[in-house]
Structure 1
Amino acid sequence: MTAPDVVVLDYGSGNLRSVVRAVERAGATVTLTGDFDTALAADGLVVPGVGAYAACMAGLRAIKGERIIGRRLAGGRPVLGICVGMQVLFAGGVEHGVETDGCDEWPGLVTRLEADVVPHMGWNTVEAPAGTRLFAGVEDERFYFVHSYAARSWDLVTNDRTAAPLVTWAEHGGDRFVAAVENGPLSATQFHPEKSGDAGAALLHNWVSSLSVAARAPR
C-alpha cells in the first residue's frame, strides 16, 4: 500500500519537528514546507500552531496559507489543524482585547478560557460524539492540552443541507470548549496529538489511514 504524502505546513510556528515525526510514525511520507504548490498537491495537509493567534495568522498570510487551506477544502482535500492551527480555522480570535481575523472556515470566535487556572495545561478526557472516525478506538483516552484560548461555542448551522460536523468537547475548570471537529475533509484538534502518547498516535493513524484511498486514487 502506498503511503500517503502529507505536508506539515511551515509558516514560522514552532513545534514542527515533533509533528513531522508523529505523522511519519502514523504511516505517512512527510514533507515540511511552506511552498504553495507542494502544500496544495499533497494527499493531506497538517496545519500546526503554537503561540499567539495574531502571530500565527500573520505567518499563515505571509505564505498565503489561508488560500492553501481554502483551495484544498474547496477540492475536498484533507486538512488537519492542531492547537492554534485549529483556532485559526474560525472566523477570528480575541487576545488582550484585540480581535484578529482568522481563516473563516467556521463561524465563531476563539476567546480566553473562563476558568480559575489558565492556561489549561496537562492531560484531559474528551467527549467524542457517536460516529467519530478520528477518535475510533480512543474515545475514552486522555489527550495533552496546552492553551489559554479556545472556541467555547459551536456556531455553524447546516440546516440539513450538508452533513453536520462531528464536534468533540472537553471541559476545564467548569468551562466547556471545542476539543476537536470532524467536518468532511477538515479536521482539527485543540490538543496536541503529537504529545499525547499512544492515544495521540492512534488518532493520527486514524487520520493518515483516511488519506490512503485518496493517495491511491488516480488524479
Structure 2
Amino acid sequence: MAAPRIAIIDYGAGNLRSVAKAFEAVGFPGKVTTDPAEALKADAVVLPGVGAAGDTMTSLGARGMIPAIKETIAKGKPFFGVCLGLQLLFDSSEEGSTECLGVLHGRVRHFPKSVKAPHMGWNQVRVKGSQALFEGVPNDSNFYFVHSYYAELAEKKHVIGETDYGVTFCSVYAKGNLVATQFHPEKSGGPGVRLYRNFVTNIVGAKGRGRA
C-alpha cells in the first residue's frame, strides 16, 4: 500500500518525538503538525498525550484543533489516542473539572486513595477476543503506563482491553477506526511498536482499501 499520511498533533507538550520515531521504526513516518487543515487532509490522526487535561484542552483550542479532531472522528477517519489522548475523548475530567472533547461518553476519574498515583510502570493488558490492533501480540502482554486518572465509561461495549490498578479500568478502546490506549505503546518495547504497525496496516490500510 502507498505510505499513508499520518498527522501527529502537536499541542505544545508531550511525547511527540518518541511517537513519531515509533511510526518511523515500523516504516510509516508521521508528520508532527500544529495545523488543523493538515490534520484534516491526513489519512490518519494521532493524538499523543502527557500533561494536564485542562492545559491540553486550552492548547488544542488555541490551535483550532478541537473541531479538526471532532471532524476526523465523525467522518470515520483512523484516529489513535494515546494516554491523555484517550482521556480527552470523554465528556469531562476530574483533573481541574475540565470539559473534554465529548466524543465518547464517560468521565475521567482519579485513582482511589488506596493506590499510589501516578500508576507508573509496566502492567498487564487483558484483551477481549481477537482484535486487529493486537494482531501478533500475545494476550496479557505488559505495557508501560504513566497516569493518575482513568476513564469511567457510560458504556463498555467497545472496551477491548482492561487493566487492574486499584480498580479495573479501560486500557484500550476501539470502535470502528477510532482506537485509544491508556498506556504508551512507544514506551512499551516490541509489543507497543507492533500496535502502531497494526494501526497502520490493519486499520488505516483497511480504510484505504475500502474495507472499513
TM-score, normalization by structure 1: 0.89
Structure 2 distance, partners of 1:166, 1:146, is 19
Cα deviations across residues 13-65 of structure 1 (Å, max 9, x unaligned)?
22110010101222323111011111011111000110111111111111222
Cross-structure match for 2:182: 190
Q: Aligned partners of 1:35, 1:23: CA distance in 2, in Å?
A: 20
Rounded to whole Å, the distance in 1 between the matches of 2:101 and 2:130 is 27
Give the superposition deviation at 1:148: 0.6
Q: Per the alignment, in what secondary structure is the counterpart of residue 133 of structure 2?
A: coil
Partner of 1:175: 167
In the TM superposition, residue 181 of structure 1 has moved relative to its aligned partner by 0.3
Gapped regions of structure 2 (runs ≥ 5): none
Contact 2:107 2:153 in 1 (8 A): no
**Whole-Å separation in 2 of the counterparts to 1:92 and 1:146:** 19
2:127 counterpart SS class:
coil
Q: Tell me the number of residue pairs that the alignment of Structure 1 and Structure 2 aligns.
A: 207
Give me the whole-angstrom Cα distance separating, in 1, the residues matched to 2:60 and 2:130.
Answer: 32
> 1:198: how far off?
0.3
Q: Is residue 13–residue 59 contact of structure 1 (8 Å, CA) maintained in 2?
A: no
1:216 positional shift: 6.1
State the SS of the aligned residue for 1:106.
Answer: coil
- CA shift, 1:207, in A, is 0.4
What SS does the corresponding residue of 2:72 show, helix, strand or coil?
Answer: helix
Tell me by how many angstroms 1:166 deviates: 4.0
Q: How many angstroms apart in 2 are the aligned matches of 1:7 and 1:216? A: 19
Query: For residues 133-144 of structure 1, what are the structure 2 equivalents within 5 Å?
Result: 133-138=132-137, 139-144=139-144
- Residue deviations 1:185-219, cap 9 Å, x none? 211000000000001011111101121244467xx
The sequence identity of aligned pairs, in percent, is 40
Length-normalised TM-score, structure 2: 0.92
CA apart distance, 1:137:
2.2
Q: Secondary structure at the match of 2:153?
A: coil
Q: Which amino acid aligns with 2:124?
A: T
How big is the shift at 1:73?
1.6
What is the identity, as a one-letter code, of the residue corresponding to 1:109?
Answer: R
- Post-superposition CA distance 1:133-177 (Å, at most 9, x none): 2122222211000011111x32137xxxxxx424311011x3111
| SS of the residue 1:12 aligns to | coil
What 5-or-longer segments of structure 1 have no aligned partner? 158-163
